């Protein structure tokens, strides 16, 4: 998560059976006509943004969703014949209702995303999805048209430009056979970070050791993060606030705050996600958190 200020994240566990309104956020009405309403089928664990929705997380079936900024996002004009879902709840809706990437993509056919703003900035995002079978997809919007890249090969995403243009970067250099002599782009912009991530991902071996696998993925993200504290905002690039890694098989969620030396993790299966259970949360800015923090969750009243 790269952003010009803290997104005030909370890590929240939602039980099944929660009723949601895809047209309301933080006491305001975002979608006035025909808002999407649903009752969650699956429990989930998400990292929130400004208390208006989840931007990153996993559900109890092993589907994970991650939202990142994409300046070129264009949701198009509102078509009130379709139920409207504000963009701040996009990730949460898919986690609530889908068990796989394929199911999540099918859910998008009958709804329309509607833009929402927070702190003066539009939620121009795209989503990366993956599930426990290894399937994955990238979803973007271009002039109101949904653009989907669906397949196990789509394992990287940064920010701008659009994903089709990002993929062209991989055709310019063969990162599938990395070597110590291969030159790498080293800037902090999303293009360079995309290419560096492709290079280092190609170096990772197949592992059945969870600890080493998580360490490998986290090492790549640290390498392509924007160094904290540098004044990059003047050219539209922002400091990295936090990093997450998701173990889809064991439904474990790892979280690393940039300003903290502690990596924390949560085992989803140890949380009570049954219908009627409390919504639970922890504040990742709590400096006492370290390691397995599943038992540190406390009841929380979420506004969405």
* Domain membership of residue 70 as a residue range: 11-159+232-299
Is residue 197 one of the residues assigned to a domain?
no
Structure confidence by residue, pLDDT tens digits, 90-103 = 999 999 999 999 99
The pLDDT mean for the chain works out to: 92
Query: Is 172 a domain residue?
Result: no
Residue 212 resides in a domain: no
Residue 25 has pLDDT above 80, yes or no: no
pTM for the whole thing?
Answer: 0.94
Q: Is residue 83 part of a domain?
A: yes
Q: Which residues contact 189 (CB under 8 A, 6 or more apart)?
A: 237
Q: Does residue 219 lie in a domain region?
A: no
Q: CA separation (Å) from 94 to 46, 172, 227, 282?
A: 12, 34, 31, 22
Q: What is the pLDDT of residues 105-136, one digit of tens each?
A: 999 999 999 988 888 888 899 999 999 999 99
Percent of the chain with pLDDT over 70: 97
In a domain, 221, yes or no: no
Domain count, the chain: 1
Q: What pLDDT score was predicted for residue 29?
A: 77
Is 201 a member of any domain?
A: no
Q: Give the CATH number of the domain where residue 290 resides.
A: 3.60.60.10
Please, which residues bridge with residue 173 across strands? none
| CA pair distance 73, 291, nearest whole angstrom | 36
The helix (H) or strand (E) run that includes residue 13 is strand 11-14
Nearest residue to 71 (alpha-carbon basis) of 220, 186, 238: 238
Q: Dump pLDDT digits (tens) for 181-209.
A: 888 888 888 999 999 999 999 999 888 89
Query: Which residue is associated with the tokens 């919504």?
Result: 279
- In a domain, residue 239? The reply is yes
């Amino acid at each position: 998560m790269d952003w010009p200020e803290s997104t005030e994240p909370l890590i929240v566990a939602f039980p099944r059976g929660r009723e949601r309104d895809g047209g309301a956020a933080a006491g305001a009405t975002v979608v006035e006509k025909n808002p999407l309403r649903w009752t969650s089928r699956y429990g989930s664990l998400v990292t929130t943004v400004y208390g208006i929705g989840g931007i990153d997380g996993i559900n109890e079936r092993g589907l994970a969703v991650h939202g990142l900024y994409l300046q070129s996002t264009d949701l198009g004009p509102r078509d009130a014949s379709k139920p409207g879902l504000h963009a701040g709840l996009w990730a949460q809706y898919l986690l609530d209702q889908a068990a796989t990437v394929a199911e999540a993509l099918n859910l998008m056919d009958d709804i329309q995303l509607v833009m929402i703003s927070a702190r003066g900035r539009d939620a121009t995002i795209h989503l990366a999805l993956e599930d426990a079978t290894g399937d994955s997809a990238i979803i973007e919007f271009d002039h109101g048209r949904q653009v989907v890249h669906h397949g196990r090969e789509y394992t990287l995403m940064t920010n701008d430009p659009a994903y089709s243009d990002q993929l062209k970067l991989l055709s310019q250099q063969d990162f599938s056979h990395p070597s110590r002599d291969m030159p790498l782009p080293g800037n902090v912009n999303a293009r360079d970070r995309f290419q560096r991530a492709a290079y280092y991902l190609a170096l990772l071996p197949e592992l059945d050791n969870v600890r080493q696998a998580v360490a490998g993925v986290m090492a790549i993200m640290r390498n392509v993060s924007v160094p904290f504290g540098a004044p990059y905002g003047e050219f539209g690039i922002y400091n990295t606030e936090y990093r997450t890694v998701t173990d889809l098989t064991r439904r474990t969620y790892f979280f690393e705050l940039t300003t903290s030396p502690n990596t924390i993790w949560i085992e989803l299966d140890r949380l009570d996600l049954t219908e009627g259970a409390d919504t639970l949360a922890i504040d990742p800015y709590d400096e006492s958190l370290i390691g397995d923090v599943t038992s540190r969750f406390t009841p929380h009243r979420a506004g969405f």
